[in-house]
Amino acid sequence: MAGSTRPVGVLALQGDVREHAQVLAGLGAEVVLVRRPADLASVDGLVLPGGESSVIDKLSRAFGMREPIRDAIRSGLPVYGTCAGLILLADRIVDGIQGQQTFGGLDVTVRRNAFGGQVDSFETDLDVPALGERPVHAVFIRAPLVEQTGPDAEALATLPDGRVVAVRQGNLLGTAFHPEMTGEHRFHELFLASVRAGR
């Protein structure tokens, strides 16, 4: 990333942190594993990885990260969330565990585990016009679903039945699936382009 001044971060409290870090590094980004507010303050963008959204929520509060992340999102920090990360970016959550909170920022309603448990995981090809003509091979693992989008949130990809599985709003990007697991790097490239534009 020529001309970059500061690294991008991956929230490293729980989930598939290493996979995202590898993709970002492979695209030329300097990567920081973000566990503390000081780490967050050192990055120009943040990835919220897949994992268990309720656990990441609890750990973010335990580590004093919830409010700094919420403040950074409100201040325009580019953030990309996959699977659990999408849940954490949503303003509204359906089927969360009791007391579960999100960081918010995306004007969407997301349903946790919308397709069922691990045994109901599946793969499919998606048309994502924002990423070009080549379809995206998407892996859904205990995936959420965007049930409603507000006026500022743009659906980037839908399943054949029209259900929304990728969304963008300003500097925020969310996918219900895991591009970091399939060699699909275009969503990370879109995130990094947002980071560069923000600088």
pLDDT in tens, the chain (199 residues): 444 458 999 999 999 999 999 999 999 999 999 999 999 999 999 999 999 999 999 999 999 999 999 999 999 999 999 999 999 999 999 988 889 999 999 999 999 988 877 767 889 999 999 999 999 999 998 899 999 999 999 999 999 999 999 999 999 999 999 999 999 999 999 999 999 998 6
Q: Where are the domains of the chain?
A: 8-198
Question: Active-site residues: which are they?
Answer: 83, 178, 180
pLDDT of residue 93: 95
pLDDT of residue 116: 76
State the Cα–Cα distance between residues 44 and 194, nearest whole angstrom: 10
- As a whole number of Å, the end-to-end CA separation of the chain is 12
Query: 87: closest CA among 154, 147, 157?
Result: 147
| pTM confidence score | 0.94
Q: Is 1 exposed, middle or buried (0-12, 13-18, 19+ CB in 10 A)?
A: middle
Query: 143: closest CA among 172, 164, 169?
Result: 164
Token couple for 54: 């309720």
State the Cα–Cα distance between residues 192 and 170, nearest whole angstrom: 13
Which residues touch 77 (CB under 8 Å, ≥6 apart)? 44, 45, 46, 171, 198
Q: What share of the chain is helix, strand, coil (3-state, %, to 5)?
A: 30, 30, 40
pLDDT of residue 5: 56
DSSP string over 83-107: THHHHHHEEEEESPPTT------EE
State the Cα–Cα distance between residues 180 and 53, nearest whole angstrom: 17
pLDDT of residue 3: 44
Could you tell me which CATH number the domain at 8-198 has? 3.40.50.880
The three-state secondary structure class of 156 is strand
